[in-house]
Amino acid sequence: MAQVIAKIALFGNEGQEKARSVALQLYEIAKQFNIELFEPTSGDFTAEIAMCLGGDGTFLDVASKVADKEIPILGINVGHLGFLANYSPDDVSHLFSDLSEGKYIIKNHSVLEVSSPQLQLDGYPFALNEVAILKHDMSSMISINTSVDGEFLTTYMADGLIIGTPTGSTAYSLSVGGPIIVPSLNTISLTPVAPHSLNMRPIVISGDSKIEIVISSRSKSFLVSLDGRSHSYHDQVSLIIRKAPYVIRVVTPSEQSFFSTLRSKLMWGR
């Protein structure tokens, strides 16, 4: 049985009316189970669980705040698809009962880290879903020279390259034809975006690999997007992408599996 939970930090998308409504329910039910539910101040991560209200975008934002603190994240989906936010508002009535009795499981999700030997990258250089190397909106395709563990792989001529975790395989990577990967696998996927050559296909490599890329562009710049957080850099910069030294821990209903999520969220077999 998992840890019995007594203190939860609540993060929410306050711009959504549905999120506010669910939050009010959560506060009322938490009192019934003597669970402390609070909105954290900056840097306050003393909770046993970080609960977020919203969609996967809200979940990714909370993951960047939790980072390496090893606090499990529980997502209640009041957005659209909700692969990461895997509880629904309908689960609220029995959610705290399960938490107070330890009836849940925690799954570890790998994270990618980006670094450069030439410059200090902006912001938080980690991604739970993917690191996307992209051209600027109106520029022509970019050239992405790619090596894996010191061995040259190929030069992608494309609109971009998505370097994804198994968790991110159902996100941006999936929309451009990338493979779906079971989150528990230790892998990294490389999926080109609109490649110039049709024989440039996605490839899955070991999660322990070190990927080094150098980008060339006619516009002399390119974008790096980490879970949607985008920064612009000059070309010819070398980037290194590898697995981060920590994982994001995700609270999951004990009866839920990745395959059942595929059937319900992607409507497999319908």
Dihedral sign computed on CA atoms, order 18, 20, 23, 29: negative
Contacts of 11 (CB under 8 A, 6+ apart): 39, 40, 50, 51, 52, 53, 54, 58, 61, 62, 65
CA atoms of 78 and 87, how far apart (whole Å): 9
CA 11 to chain centre: 16
In degrees, rounded to 5, the angle at the alpha carbon of residue 191 between the alpha carbons of residues 189 and 192 is: 155
Decide: 18 and 85 in contact? Cβ < 8 Å: no
Decide: 111 and 248 in contact? Cβ < 8 Å: yes
Instruction: Supply 176's token pair.
Output: 């451009």
56 is catalytic: yes
CA 252 to chain centre: 15
Instruction: Supply 211's token pair.
Output: 């990927």
- The active-site residue out of 44, 56, 98, 235 is 56
Decide: 48 and 71 in contact? Cβ < 8 Å: yes
* Catalytic residue positions, numbered: 56
